[in-house]
A and B are shown apart, each in its own frame.
Chain A
């Protein structure tokens, strides 16, 4: 248990570190929302100064950070100038959408990568394995952007899939089940793009990790005992190969989050990506800081989940930590 607690504390400290760093950057940034305002001849310098004072921009940095933390605990996360309201509600729905897309993509990618990698490792060096290796290499060299745009072209040309947003116009009137179907329908395209961009790396790692284990003596012994192939692969070999894969799981969440940022913009999925882009173009820095913090939260959460998985899957870690 101490292992998990320590990881939790570590995750928390990381979040604090990121928030301080992000805040430092906002302070160092040349130009903020008010600077853009100052260029507007219809707004007098006095009113800009008054606004700066009203939003606490004239206070020293540590005070502003404390204010911001205070706002964070009151569920506001600072003020969005472009949207004239607190940042948190703005971010929350977007973050939920991003999370929805990323979790779906993560589950799908791993759900496909695991059996595919195992299947490939079992046939190591034979034709199916070779073909799959070529396939993953081909996917690996196509950049995300080209992949997303290509899928979009496909969707627009064929009309098979919706090409933007996450709900149909009549979404509110649908029954719960139909709502779910509508959502899944809209998610197909961005999720496919994400899965395809993440898949090759995952398959390769699963294959490599499993190929290493498959040569182990204990598996040979298991084969000698006549244990069926499927049990052998999924109950004996996979858990033994799990350690590096679980580390990869945490990493893959980060990669998928990054990937989804771009794909959300391309496919107009109303997640953090488009919001962040708008905020950057409007120099609405608190939204940017909030978005970055949310993404870090997801990633840290994902890594913590990976730690829990590791704790659960690897008895060595349990005994090691409780003894130490």
Chain B
């Protein structure tokens, strides 16, 4: 009997989730910035199996929603014509994974538009915006975490390996960064950077800001590992044979820090996605019309939207499966690290 390790299970789940977002163009029925001015704040469409005259259909279908006469926001279903859901049909052009021009969409319908999660004030499809917004938010989280880990690992390795005044200065600096509540730090860094920038500029700006904020914790962890690793016998032996510091760090010392860095990545990525969401939610991040998970929610700052259009809240919940995946991954990694440590210790006591 072979039970898949929890680590692998979580990893596969995360890869699937990220894959869906990466192929947003395929799974999203429409272009995320395409407006349908005739149907603002359209509620999520209902999928039907039974039509108005009581017949059962095997293929789910939808009715077109039309504005009620004399109303601006009340919609009613036009039950005279049903539109069955079609799979793998061609629609708006997009670039799969960012470069492959493609027209194929996972689902859609002929002669009508399906808004599974409703539409926003401009009649843009919330599901498409959610999927494309995930690309922005998740990429920001991943790249931000990458920057942080790179910074943290190099600073930690530098401080741990060379020690002395470098160590003192860097670790004091790390203490200052740790002394600040991180969201305040994020705000402060963002405050000192220009406000009005293009969406792409803003995207890279917040990645840089988010990435620069969190280096202190991984740096301290890496420093600790490096401190103990550089006194290990095989490292001393290599040094005795005349290995250069760069070689020692690359070949012998940094590999010891990989498990720490991996665990940190699993903790940092969701935190950074959330940071991007927070910044964009407050209007300091990626600007409209480019969707991100944060600015999808920013319309909720108005009470009227919060009260009248409940489906606008749905994007807030999209983070949950991703958080769950990363939480599971982090705890699986931690357990594995602990098991490894315990095994190592008992091995050491035997010898």
A288 touches B194 (CB 8 A): no
Near B by CB (< 8 A), chain A positions 148-182 give 149-150, 152-153, 156-157, 163
B89 within 8 A of A: no
Query: How far is B283's CA from A144's CA once the two chains are assembled, in angstroms?
Result: 17
Summed over the interface, the residue pairs from A and B with CB atoms below 8 Å come to a total of 134
Residues of A within 8 A of B185 (CB): 292
A69-77, A237-245, A277-285: which lies at the interface = A277-285
B162 within 8 A of A: no
A104 within 8 A of B: no
Of the residues B190, B195, B313, B323, contact of A150 by C-beta under 8 Å:
B313
B303 within 8 A of A: yes
B307 within 8 A of A: yes
Of the residues B183, B319, B320, contact of A258 by C-beta under 8 Å:
B183
Query: How far is B104's CA from A206's CA once the two chains are assembled, in angstroms?
Result: 52
Of the residues B182, B188, B283, B297, contact of A149 by C-beta under 8 Å:
B297
Residues of B within 8 A of A277 (CB): 187, 282, 284
A137 touches B282 (CB 8 A): no
B180 touches A292 (CB 8 A): yes
B194 touches A280 (CB 8 A): no
B327 touches A280 (CB 8 A): no
A26 touches B323 (CB 8 A): no
Q: Which of A14, A150, A163, A298 has the most CB of B within 10 A?
A: A14
* Given A18-B176, A262-B278, A291-B184; A146-B191 close (CB under 8 Å): no
B181 within 8 A of A: yes
B203 within 8 A of A: no
A300 within 8 A of B: yes
B13 CB → nearest A CB, Å: 13
Q: Which of B175, B181, B189, B306 has the most CB of A within 10 A?
A: B181
Of the residues A30, A143, A150, A298, contact of B277 by C-beta under 8 Å:
A143
Encode B285-308 as 1/0 by CB contact (under 8 A) with A: 000000000000100110100110
B277 touches A145 (CB 8 A): yes
Residues of B within 8 A of A156 (CB): 303, 306-307
Residues of B within 8 A of A143 (CB): 274, 277, 316, 319-320, 323
Query: How far is B317's CA from A177's CA once the two chains are assembled, in angstroms?
Result: 40
Residues of A within 8 A of B188 (CB): 22, 25, 288-289, 292
Residue of B nearest to A254 (CB): B181
Of the residues B191, B307, B323, contact of A279 by C-beta under 8 Å:
B191
A275 CB → nearest B CB, Å: 11
B192 within 8 A of A: yes
A194 within 8 A of B: no
A25 touches B189 (CB 8 A): yes
A141 touches B323 (CB 8 A): yes
Residue of A nearest to B303 (CB): A156
Of the residues B175, B179, B181, B190, contact of A261 by C-beta under 8 Å:
B181
Query: How far is B189's CA from A145's CA once the two chains are assembled, in angstroms?
Result: 21
Size class of the contact patch on chain B: 35 or more
A125 within 8 A of B: no
Mostly helix, strand, loop or mixed at chain B's interface? Answer: helix
Query: How far is B189's CA from A141's CA once the two chains are assembled, in angstroms?
Result: 27
Of the residues A18, A265, A303, contact of B282 by C-beta under 8 Å:
A265
Query: How far is B310's CA from A143's CA once the two chains are assembled, in angstroms?
Result: 18
A142 touches B284 (CB 8 A): no
B132 within 8 A of A: no
* Given A21-B176, A149-B313, A265-B282; A31-B182 close (CB under 8 Å): no
* Given A18-B176, A141-B327; A152-B306 close (CB under 8 Å): yes
Residues of B within 8 A of A18 (CB): 176, 179-180
Query: How far is B185's CA from A252's CA once the two chains are assembled, in angstroms?
Result: 16
A145 touches B179 (CB 8 A): no
Near B by CB (< 8 A), chain A positions 3-45 give 14, 17-18, 21-22, 25-26, 28-31
A232 within 8 A of B: no
Query: How far is B176's CA from A283's CA once the two chains are assembled, in angstroms?
Result: 24
Residues of A within 8 A of B187 (CB): 261, 276-277, 280, 288, 291-292
B324 within 8 A of A: yes
B316 touches A150 (CB 8 A): yes
B49 within 8 A of A: no
Encode A288-303 as 1/0 by CB contact (under 8 A) with B: 1101100110111001
Encode A93-116 as 1/0 by CB contact (under 8 A) with B: 000000000000000000000000
Q: Which of A31, A142, A149 has the most CB of B within 10 A?
A: A149
A144 touches B274 (CB 8 A): yes
B201 CB → nearest A CB, Å: 12
Near B by CB (< 8 A), chain A positions 213-228 give none
A145 touches B316 (CB 8 A): yes
Residue of A nearest to B192 (CB): A29
B272 within 8 A of A: no
B282 touches A299 (CB 8 A): no
A31 touches B194 (CB 8 A): yes
* Given A156-B303, A156-B306; A142-B320 close (CB under 8 Å): yes
Residue of A nearest to B321 (CB): A141
B299 CB → nearest A CB, Å: 11
Residue of A nearest to B323 (CB): A141
Query: How far is B278's CA from A166's CA once the two chains are assembled, in angstroms?
Result: 23
B166 within 8 A of A: no
B115 within 8 A of A: no
Residue of A nearest to B179 (CB): A14
A-B contact pairs, 6 of them (CB 8 A): A14-B179, A141-B327, A142-B317, A265-B282, A288-B191, A291-B187
Q: What 20 additional pairs, Cβ within 8 angstroms, besides A283-B191, A299-B180?
A: A18-B180, A25-B189, A25-B192, A26-B192, A29-B191, A31-B195, A137-B327, A141-B320, A141-B323, A143-B316, A143-B320, A150-B313, A150-B316, A152-B300, A257-B183, A276-B184, A288-B192, A295-B181, A296-B181, A300-B179
- The list of the 3 closest CB pairs from A to B, nearest first, reads A29-B192, A258-B183, A146-B316
